Amino acid sequence: AQKITQTQPGMFVQEKEAVTLDCTYDTSDQSYGLFWYKQPSSGEMIFLIYQGSYDEQNATEGRYSLNFQKARKSANLVISASQLGDSAMYFCAMREGQRLQAQLWSRKSGAAGNKLTFGGGTRVLVKP
Amino acid sequence: GAGVSQSPSNKVTEKGKDVELRCDPISGHTALYWYRQSLGQGLEFLIYFQGNSAPDKSGLPSDRFSAERTGGSVSTLTIQRTQQEDSAVYLCASSLGTGADWQYFGPGTRLTVT
């Protein structure tokens, strides 16, 4: 079964409007981290926002916010006031096995606790 | 400061030849990762290095793939006897390797096997 599912292969959004990109995940771990990356046509992966499973507040970074619904295992990205430069592929990713111990994060050893598992991506095209 | 750099940016090779892809991580980052992105697909984990520990090679698709990291810094991904299905963008990422850190990606190397 897929661990990260992005059900929207592509979407159009009008400039200056908000857009929500869906992401659902599957894990049996209690502790994990969720990430969103942007990949413009240049190919570079740009980190946007991070949400830890134990974070009580939804993460926000400028025009990006993460609508984290733990019970539903969803971590949707909201981009407000879309700009033409937001046109890109957007990937949701998860890192499993983070463990909160007395405010310190630790992980499973090796790649199991460090590698990112990515969804298939959503292509966003912002229209002027 | 400088980000993650990769070279070459593009590589075209004939089927059956060996290729080497290079990654220079961000200075001070102890963790280094290689991912592969096939056309229109998400990223697939290949291999992970953390400091001086033995690398985690659990994502390598076959024994034609290998990687090393010299001096805890620069890494080289080697693909022997390339096949057409190896055509993809190979992305390298690095991170501090501690806490809830995130990975910084390089621009990738686009490999085309003809």
Answer yes or no: are the C-beta atoms of B88 and B38 closer than 8 Å: yes
* Short-list B20, B104, B101, CA closest to A45: B104
Return the domain boundaries, chain B: 5-102
Closest CA to B76 of B38, B20, B35, B36: B20
In chain B, % of residues over pLDDT 70: 95
Whether residue B75 contacts residue B92, with contact meaning beta carbons closer than 8 Å, is answered with yes
Q: What is the pLDDT at residue B79?
A: 98
Q: Which two tokens stand for residue A97?
A: 């096995």
B67 DSSP 8-state letter: E
Query: Smallest Cβ distance to B107: which of A33, A43, A118?
Result: A43
Strand partners, A99: A106
Which residue range is the domain that position A63 belongs to? 4-127
Q: Which residues of chain A have pLDDT under 70?
A: 1-2, 97-113
| Contact check, Cβ <8 Å, A111/B45 | yes
pLDDT tens for B76-97 read 999 999 999 999 999 999 988 7
Single-letter amino acid code for the residue at B59: G
Q: How many CA atoms lie within 13 A of A60 on its CB side?
A: 5
CATH number at residue A107: 2.60.40.10
User: In the prediction, which pLDDT does A114 show?
Assistant: 73
Distance from CA of B45 to the nearest CA of A (A): 7
User: Domain B5-102 sits in which CATH superfamily?
Assistant: Immunoglobulins (2.60.40.10)
Start-to-end CA distance of chain A, whole Å, equals 38
Instruction: Spell out which residues of chain B touch residue A33, defining contact as CB-CB under 8 Å.
Output: 100
Who wins on pLDDT, B63 or B100? B63
Residue in B8, B41, B5 with CA at minimum distance from that of residue B112: B8
How close is the nearest chain B Cα to the Cα of A99, in Å?
A: 10
Tally of structural domains, chain A: 1
Give the dihedral sign, CA A38/B98/B44/A52.
Answer: negative
Interface of A with B (CB under 8 A): 4, 33, 35, 37, 42-47, 50, 52, 91, 93, 98, 104-105, 110-112, 114-121
Tell me the shortest Cα–Cα distance from B90 to chain A, in angstroms: 10
